Amino acid sequence: MKKVLTIAGSDPSGGAGIQADLKTMTCHKIYGMSVITALTAQNTTGVYGVSEVPPEFVEAQLDAVFTDIYPDAVKIGMVSNKEIISVIADKLIEYKAKKIVLDPVMVATSGSKLCKDDSIEMLINKLMPLATVITPNIQEAEVLCGFEIENKEDMEKAAIKIAEKYSGYILIKGGHLVTGSDDLLYMDGDCIWYEQERINNMNSHGTGCTLSSAIACNLAEGHDVKTSILNAKNYITGALKANFSIGKGRGPLNHCW
Ligand code: PLP
């Protein structure tokens, strides 16, 4: 059985973060492991508190995992401060981690900040260079490229701009765009568009977390990046179409569709 590690924040209501990642891994028949960077107090209605794990303890968790069960792929989600980012980058280099999917989580859909402003530079300079693929949504891509994105043309320009600082695969997710929901994969001047119907399901909490872990699961199984993204997107489409509804707010996906 392949093994995937998620390094991310906890969502006690089970929709996003570590919990979404582990559910995704189990549904992919992958052995899931989790290094927790932050506890959040949240549910389907919003994020009510964040408690960051001390960086030394993130380090201790990473040592415990890597010295025992070596992951075939790693997914990185919420990494809220500079110290945590620095420890993760150092440990991933020390243990020569491969097949890293970085979801540059900055703000929850509910509007709560999940990454401190002064950490973004560190995320770009220390973590991004280690990643095989990064998966920003429109808002995160705007922060990374420095301008507003309104349509598919802007998405291509943004990818070109981000590629000035980062040489891996860039997957810009178009789901938050009013004009469409296609995703762009950019690498070395090549643009691949993943076109898809928009699924009108407001219960999409944790979609970004789920997509990045599904990509990591596919990479762990040995698929290339393009196939991994296609498979992961099909998984998300199925989970959205299953039309699960739980909780009082924006509910999570149904992983067991
Ligand atoms: N909470 C945690 C711990 C997360 O990692 C994320 C996203 O990665 C979210 C919340 C945000 O999820 P959403 O924007 O789908 O509400």
What is the domain-level CATH number for residue 129?
3.40.1190.20
- 248 domain-assigned: no
The verdict on residue 251 lying in a domain is no
Pocket test for ligand 1, best of 78, 123, 176, 207 (most atoms within 8 A of CB): 78
Please enumerate in sequence order all residues whose Cβ is within 8 A of that of 55, keeping only pairs 6 or more positions apart, or say none.
81, 83, 84, 86, 87
User: Is 252 part of any domain?
Assistant: no
Select from 44, 50, 105, 207 the residue to mutate for testing ligand 1; criterion: most ligand atoms less than 8 Å from CB: 105
Is 249 a domain residue?
no
Residue 96 lies in a domain: yes
Digit-by-digit pLDDT tens for the chain (257 residues) are 999 999 999 999 999 999 999 999 999 999 999 999 999 999 999 999 999 999 999 999 999 999 999 999 999 999 989 999 999 999 999 999 999 999 999 988 888 888 888 899 999 999 999 999 999 999 999 999 999 999 999 999 999 999 999 999 999 999 888 777 799 999 999 999 998 888 888 898 999 999 999 999 999 999 999 999 999 999 999 999 988 899 999 999 988 87
Q: Give me the number of domains the chain comprises.
A: 1
Q: What is the DSSP string of the chain?
A: --EEEEEEEE-TTSSSHHHHHHHHHHHTT-EEEEEEEEEEEEETTEEEEEEEPPHHHHHHHHHHHHTTS--SEEEE----SHHHHHHHHHHHHHTT--SEEE----B-TTS-B-S-GGGHHHIIIIIGGG-SEE--BHHHHHHHHSS---SHHHHHHHHHHHTTT--SEEEEB-TT-TT---EEEEETTEEEEE-------S--BTHHHHHHHHHHHHHHTT--HHHHHHHHHHHHHHHHHT----SSSS-B--TT-
Q: How far is the CA of 10 from the centre of ligand 1 (A)?
A: 9
| Ligand 1 centroid – CA 161 distance (Å) | 25
pLDDT of residue 199: 86
Q: What is the ipTM of this complex?
A: 0.92
Please state the atom number of ligand 1 nearest to the C-alpha of residue 38.
3
CA dist list (Å): 119 to 85, 105, 169, 220 = 8, 11, 22, 28
Task: Give pLDDT, residue 256.
Answer: 84
Q: Print the domain residue range for 143.
A: 3-241
Whether 246 maps to a domain, the answer reads no
Closest CA relative to residue 209, chosen from 132, 137, 128: 137
Whether the CB-CB separation of 175 and 233 falls below 8 Å is answered with no
**Is 23 within a domain?**
yes
Single pTM value for the model: 0.96
Q: How far is the CA of 108 from the centre of ligand 1 (A)?
A: 5
Query: Given this model, what pLDDT does residue 107 score?
Result: 85
> 225 in a domain, yes or no?
yes
pLDDT of the residue at 123: 95
Q: How far is the CA of 16 from the centre of ligand 1 (A)?
A: 5
Q: Is the CB of 15 under 6 A from ligand 1?
A: no
